[in-house]
Amino acid sequence: MFEFIRSHRRWMQFILLLLIVPSFFLVGIQGYESFMRAEPELATVAGQPVSRAEFDQAHRNQLEQLRQRLGTQFDPAVIDTPALRENLLNQLINQRLLANVAMDNRFSVSDETLRNTIAAIPEVQDNGRFSPERYRQVLAAQGMSPTSFEAGLRRDLAVARVLEPVGQSARAPAEVVAALETALTQQRTVQLRRFAAADFRSQVNVTPADIQSWYDANKQQLQIPEQVQVQYLVLDEAAATQGVQVKEEDLTAYYEQNKNRFGKPERRRASHIMIELAPGASEEARKAARAKAEDLARQAAADPARFAELAAKESQDAGSAAKGGDLGWLAPGMLSGPLEKAVFGQAKDQVSGVIESPSGLHIVKVTEIQPAAIKPLAEVKDQITGEVRKQIAAVRFSEMASQLNKQVYDQQDSLQPAADAVGLKLRTASGVTREGLLPADQAGPGSAADSPDAALLDNPRVRQVLFSPDVLREKHNSGVIELSPDTMLAVRVAAVQPAHVPPLEKVSDSIRARLIDERAAAAAKQAGEAALAADKASPATTVPEGYSAPQTVSRQDPKGLPRPVLEAAMRLPAGTLPGYAGVQSGADYTLVRLEKVEAGKVDKADQDSLAQQLSGAWGQAESEAMIRMLREQYKVEVLPAAAEVIRGDQQQAAG
């Protein structure tokens, strides 16, 4: 049959054409194109689609940026939420919307504005100024040309101008600023009376029937999520250093190679007489300067004790002349070649000949010598031992890491061979879930939460690997997980415990404690509400019993009051005093008695700052209102496929 097809290829092409062409008429050209494209649309803006591919690309970019920013703390299960995905989709829709508005209204950006914007980008500046060379390098590193980048930036700047006037012109109304200013600065004098839940615990009675009833009604709250028992190996500096022995000959060699680090080099104190000689001086000027310098050198050499006197009188270095030519203490490397050679090459109190340098002509005298002081090996032995051990450990760490990488793959169903080969201890911990580590009372013996390695096992990357299909279901060794340059892990799931509700006997005590807390709080509230009713009915001139001394608070200075108590105090009407309110604060119930209300004082700078902040928030609100209006005008429609993307259904299925 295949031979027949090869022999009659032209006939077969004609037959296939007859079969395919009618299909266009049956399903329609549009349906065929849709079938070929098969690209889900999440939304439309003026009839233009926002595709799933656009969203996926933006989503990957966003997660990668977050991964780079958060490092080892990046956990997709925590960060990649429906709220984040919905916000990203709205950003894409709004970008498309504003681009349409900019195009329809012919918004443009001048060449000068574009140039100024690019020049202000720090990454393309050199010493605070725009660098064309750096500009090209930065773009090349991103795989972009100046033409494409400038076209995109011009488009983005034009789009930004759609909302720019709204933000610039927005001003919060004066009455709004005044009202918020009053709310922030108003001072209120209050007295408090607290009904502590702890005082009512002795009155609470919880029966076994109460516990059983709560257990039956709230099993979902008690469910312990799926957890794994982990076997793992840790390769870190401590593991690489363990057992490292440093030989005496290694210490001696290291000491000899680094002697200058274990003491002070020789220092010398010197004085000089300087005669100025400009680099471009004429031959006549050079001869005159040298003649004077040589005469001073002869005088100083004849009577070195007069050196300071000659320097003070004749030296043209004003700074040192006033000190008899003293240059202070000098270490090797502080002077130029000829001067350094003179200072460190002659004996104490010896006077040099004339030395020429770029700054002039010099006569030098060494006044004091402080010999090099090197600490003996015995004195720095502990320090050297630690440094040598670290060097050896660094080499050993690299070798162990290579061996560990190899071993975890050679026998994938056990970490013990890798542990034996590398010389690491195989460790075990329980109670690791997708979201974190279980408390010790839920995890049982060997709890990861109580382990010295809790921070390593709770790392999002480690948990992500543990619950990957190959490691979780097949119980294979993971690859080596590098958490930092000096810390690596290899993990394996030893056992999986499915999500379950613990039996009543294991949670009975915690349920009892919870019920006691809840009922004590309810009793405190009931007593507080009864006292509140009585206090409201008491004479205004009498302060009921149990209240604390008066204190003046404000939203800016809450004096340590819990947030609910402060808000209750600030919300009480100021027209009728005293005023009373009751509020739950944690398990306790607090009564608030308002005695006095005073206006706070605000200086001009704070008023201006508040008005500016409120105007910014007002502009943001107006911009959002304008976007909503433009969405209606441009007929933005969010399609049903967007719901799956926001929920993350397909991402989870892929995982």
Phi, psi values for residue 496, rounded to 5°: -120, 130
From first CA to last CA, the distance across the chain in angstroms is 44
In this structure, are 635 and 579 located in the same domain? Answer: no
Residue partners of 553: CB distance under 8 A and separation at least 6: 187, 188, 190, 559, 561, 566, 569
What pLDDT does 438 receive? 94
Helix (H) or strand (E) run with residue 621 in it: helix 604-633
Neighbouring C-alpha atoms within 13 Å toward the C-beta of 539: 2
User: Where is average pLDDT lowest: 133-137, 325-329, 515-519?
Assistant: 133-137
Over residues 287-324, the pLDDT tens digits come to 999 999 999 999 989 999 999 999 899 898 888 888 99
Q: Which two tokens stand for residue 498?
A: 């499915």
Structurally, the chain folds into a number of domains equal to 5
Residue 76 has pLDDT above 80, yes or no: no
Q: Which domain holds residue 139?
A: 38-185+601-654
What pLDDT does 260 receive? 73
In this structure, are 238 and 100 located in the same domain? Answer: no
In this structure, are 25 and 111 located in the same domain? Answer: no
What pLDDT does 594 receive? 94
DSSP one-letter code for 243: T
Say which residue the tokens 């780079």 belong to.
68
523 falls within a domain? yes
What pLDDT does 38 receive? 55
401 in Cβ contact with 480 (< 8 Å)? yes
Higher pLDDT, 62 or 128: 62
Mean pLDDT over all residues of the chain?
Answer: 84
Helix (H) or strand (E) run with residue 130 in it: strand 129-130
In this structure, are 478 and 583 located in the same domain? Answer: no
CA pair distance 208, 187, nearest whole angstrom: 50
Q: Classify burial at 652, counting beta carbons within 10 Å of its beta carbon; exposed 0-12, middle 13-18, buried 19 or more.
A: exposed
What pLDDT does 3 receive? 42
CA pair distance 503, 222, nearest whole angstrom: 10
CA pair distance 339, 358, nearest whole angstrom: 11
In this structure, are 592 and 605 located in the same domain? Answer: no
177 in Cβ contact with 614 (< 8 Å)? yes
Residue partners of 411: CB distance under 8 A and separation at least 6: 417, 418, 477
Q: Which of 250, 230, 237 is nearest to 400 (CA)?
A: 237
In this structure, are 173 and 91 located in the same domain? Answer: yes
Please compute the mean of the pLDDT values over residues 553-562 and round it to a whole number: 90
User: Where is average pLDDT lowest: 52-56, 371-375, 498-502?
Assistant: 371-375
Angle between helix 29-37 and helix 9-27 axes, rounded to 10 deg: 100
DSSP one-letter code for 316: S
475 in Cβ contact with 466 (< 8 Å)? no
Say which residue the tokens 């062409």 belong to.
21
202 falls within a domain? no
Over residues 91-107, the pLDDT tens digits come to 888 888 888 888 887 87
In this structure, are 610 and 553 located in the same domain? Answer: no
Confidence band for 168, pLDDT divided at 50, 70 and 90:
low
CATH code at 329? 3.10.50.40
Q: Which of 450, 414, 416, 418 is nearest to 432 (CA)?
A: 450
Please compute the mean of the pLDDT values over residues 518-532 and round it to a whole number: 96
In this structure, are 529 and 561 located in the same domain? Answer: yes
In this structure, are 166 and 279 located in the same domain? Answer: no
Listed residues 339, 374, 409: the one ending a domain: 374
What pLDDT does 215 receive? 95
What pLDDT does 205 receive? 94
User: Where is average pLDDT lowest: 142-156, 199-213, 522-536?
Assistant: 142-156
119 falls within a domain? yes
- List the beta bridge partners of residue 276: 360
235 falls within a domain? yes
Residue partners of 467: CB distance under 8 A and separation at least 6: 228, 434
* Length of the chain as a residue count: 655
470 in Cβ contact with 655 (< 8 Å)? no
Please compute the mean of the pLDDT values over residues 480-490 and round it to a whole number: 91
For residue 317, count other CB atoms closer than 10 A to its CB. Answer: 18
Strand ranges of the sheet holding 227-236, from the earlier edge strand across to the other edge: 427-432, 227-236, 487-497, 481-484
For residue 456, count other CB atoms closer than 10 A to its CB. Answer: 20
What pLDDT does 503 receive? 93
Confidence band for 19, pLDDT divided at 50, 70 and 90:
very low
Q: Which of 40, 17, 199 is nearest to 643 (CA)?
A: 40
Q: Which two tokens stand for residue 196?
A: 């502590």
339 falls within a domain? yes
Kind of pairing between the strands at 129-130 and 125-126:
antiparallel
Angle between helix 132-141 and helix 146-169 axes, rounded to 10 deg: 100
212 falls within a domain? no
In this structure, are 341 and 392 located in the same domain? Answer: no
CA pair distance 433, 593, nearest whole angstrom: 48
Neighbouring C-alpha atoms within 13 Å toward the C-beta of 459: 19
6 falls within a domain? yes
The most confident of the ranges 23-37, 328-342, 348-362 is 348-362
409: left (phi over 0), alpha (psi -120 to 50) or beta: alpha
In this structure, are 268 and 121 located in the same domain? Answer: no
| Distance, CA of 425 to chain centre | 33
Angle between helix 604-633 and helix 174-185 axes, rounded to 10 deg: 130
Confidence band for 27, pLDDT divided at 50, 70 and 90:
very low
Phi, psi values for residue 166, rounded to 5°: -65, -50
Kind of pairing between the strands at 227-236 and 637-638:
unpaired
Phi, psi values for residue 498, rounded to 5°: -65, 165
DSSP per-residue letters across 221-236: HHPBPPEEEEEEEEEE
In this structure, are 172 and 61 located in the same domain? Answer: yes
Listed residues 475, 497, 519: the one ending a domain: 497
Angle between helix 604-633 and helix 82-104 axes, rounded to 10 deg: 80
Confidence band for 167, pLDDT divided at 50, 70 and 90:
low
Say whether 9 sits in a helix, a strand or coil.
helix
Over residues 563-592, the pLDDT tens digits come to 999 999 999 998 889 999 999 999 999 999
Angle between helix 146-169 and helix 82-104 axes, rounded to 10 deg: 90
User: Where is average pLDDT lowest: 23-32, 95-104, 162-171, 341-350?
Assistant: 23-32
CATH code at 55? 1.10.4030.10
CA pair distance 197, 189, nearest whole angstrom: 26
| HEC readout, 549-578 | CCEEECCCCCCCCCHHHHHHHHHCCCCCCC
% of the chain surpassing 90 pLDDT: 39
Over residues 233-245, the pLDDT tens digits come to 999 988 888 877 8
55 in Cβ contact with 644 (< 8 Å)? no
Listed residues 436, 463, 497: the one ending a domain: 497
Number of H helices and E strands in the chain, helices first, is 29, 19
487 in Cβ contact with 234 (< 8 Å)? yes
222 falls within a domain? no
